[in-house]
Chain A
Amino acid sequence: MTTPSRLPDTYGPSSGANLADILERVLDKGVVIAGDIRINLLDIELLTIKLRLVVASVDKAKEMGIDWWESDPALSSRARRDELARENAELRERLARLEELGLEKGAERTGRTLPKEAP
C-alpha cells in the first residue's frame, strides 16, 4: 500500500513530547542533506549544544533548571570541591578496609575470634 490517504489523526501531533524529544529528532535524526548553506549539524551532539548554550547564557540556563555543568569538575570549582569530598570518602573506605584486615590478622595471631556483627 503506497497510496497516501488522509489518515485519521487519532493521537494528536507528538503528544507528550518535551523539548529534548524534539531536539533529539530534528538535530540528530532525519534525512541528512547538504544544502547550499553548509552547517555541520553532524558534529554537534546534543551535549555540545547544551554546553555552548550554557556557556553563552548561564543565567538563562539556570532559569530553565539547567545546571549540570556545576557537577562537572572541568567546568566548576564547586564540582572540584565535590571531587575532593569523593576522594576523601574513597580514602576513608581504603582505611576502613585496612583496619579490618589488620583486625583479622590480629585475631589470627591471638587465636581469638572476631566479635559477631550486629544483624
Chain B
Amino acid sequence: MSGLRYVYAICRPLEAPLQAQLTGVAGAPAKPLHHHGLVAVVSEVPEQDFTEDALRAHLEDLDWLAATARAHQGVIDALTVVTTPLPLRLATVFRDDSGVRSMIEAREEHFLRTLDRLSGRVEWGVKVYLESEGQESEPAAERPAPKAASGRDYLRQRRQQTRASEDLWQRAETFATALHEKLAAFAEDTRLHAPQNATLSGAAGRNVLNAAYLVPRDRSEEFVELVDRTKDDAPGLRVELTGPWAAYSFAGELPEEERA
C-alpha cells in the first residue's frame, strides 16, 4: 500500500472474517490491521484527497461528504454485525501502518476498557417529531385569520393562536419526556442530542426529541417493541427509530470514574 491509511474503527480480533469485498471510502477495500491484541480496520486512501487542505475543501462539498460518510458508516455497519466496533470519527487518517500501530499502543488501555464496557451493546436512535403545527387537531390555526376589525379583535386572535400552539408544544414535551423516561429505564445508558434541522434531514415536522439509547443487542427486540407500542399514543406526533448503530454516542468519552 502506498497511499494514506484511513481508520474506521478499533475492535477485538474478529472471530468471523470480514465480508470478502468490504468497500470503504474512495472505493478501496477495508482490511483488518492486527496489533497488540487489537484490530484497526483500515483502508488505503489517495494522498491527493486526504491531505489537510484537500480534506478541508472536500468537507465543503456535500456530494463528497455524503458519499464518504455513507462509506464510513457502511464499514462500521458491517463490523457491527460481527463484533462490537469502536467507531472513530470521520476522516481519521495516518501516513502509514506504523502510524496506526503507534496510535493503538498509545491508547491500548483505553480501547480495551471501552470495548469491555460496550461489548455486545448497540445504539438505537429515537426521534420525536411534532407534525406540522396546526394539522387536524388545530384547524383554526391553519386557516388564514379573518381580518381584525379592531385592535381588540387582533389581540384576541393572537392570543388564540398562541394558546393553540402552546397546547401542542406542551403535549409534545410531555409525550417526549415520558417516552424518554420509559426508554431510559430500559436502556443501559442514554444521550440526548440536539434536535435535527429539518432542512438537512428532509424529515417532515419539527424534531422535539433526538436521543440515543445503549441497549444489549440481545435485548434489542424488546426495545424495538417498546418503541413501537408508543407510536400510536400521540396524535400529531411522530416517533422514528433508527438502528442498530455501533455505539457512536457512547464510545467517544471517558467512563464515569475518569470524568471530573
Q: Counting CB contacts under 8 A, is A109 at the interface?
A: no
Given contacts A30-B88, A31-B252, A117-B156, contact A25 B245 (CB under 8 A): yes
Complex contacts, A19 vs chain B, CB 8 Å: 66, 69-70, 200-202
- In Å, the complex CA distance between A68 and B206 comes to 14
A67-94 vs B, CB cutoff 8 Å, 1 = contact: the mask equals 1100000000000000000000000110
Most buried by B among A6, A36, A95: A36
Q: Counting CB contacts under 8 A, is A112 at the interface?
A: no
Q: Which of B72, B158, B224, B243 contacts A26 (CB 8 A)?
A: B72
Q: Counting CB contacts under 8 A, is A66 at the interface?
A: yes
| B77 & A14 in contact (Cβ 8 Å cutoff) | yes
Q: Which of B82, B92, B203, B245 contacts A4 (CB 8 A)?
A: B82
A20-49 vs B, CB cutoff 8 Å, 1 = contact: the mask equals 111111110111110111110100101101
User: Which bracket fits the contact residues of A?
Assistant: 35 or more
- In Å, the complex CA distance between A25 and B123 comes to 11
- Residue in chain B with minimal CB distance to A50: B200
| B62 & A6 in contact (Cβ 8 Å cutoff) | no
Complex contacts, B90 vs chain A, CB 8 Å: 26-27, 30, 41
Which B residues contact A (CB, under 8 angstroms)?
Answer: 4, 7, 10-12, 14-16, 50-52, 55-56, 59-63, 65-66, 69-70, 72-74, 77-78, 80-84, 86-95, 99, 103, 107, 114-116, 119-120, 125, 150-152, 154-156, 158, 193, 196-197, 199-203, 217, 220-221, 224, 240-245, 248-249, 251-252
| B62 & A53 in contact (Cβ 8 Å cutoff) | yes
Distance from A109 Cβ to chain B, minimum over Cβ atoms (Å): 19
| B251 & A4 in contact (Cβ 8 Å cutoff) | no
| B200 & A66 in contact (Cβ 8 Å cutoff) | yes
| A18 & B203 in contact (Cβ 8 Å cutoff) | yes
| A93 & B155 in contact (Cβ 8 Å cutoff) | yes
| A10 & B220 in contact (Cβ 8 Å cutoff) | yes
Would you mind naming 24 contact pairs between A and B with Cβ atoms under 8 Å apart?
A2-B115, A3-B15, A6-B82, A14-B242, A17-B243, A18-B201, A19-B202, A21-B125, A23-B200, A26-B87, A31-B10, A33-B7, A33-B103, A35-B7, A35-B103, A39-B55, A46-B200, A47-B197, A50-B200, A53-B60, A60-B62, A64-B62, A100-B152, A103-B152
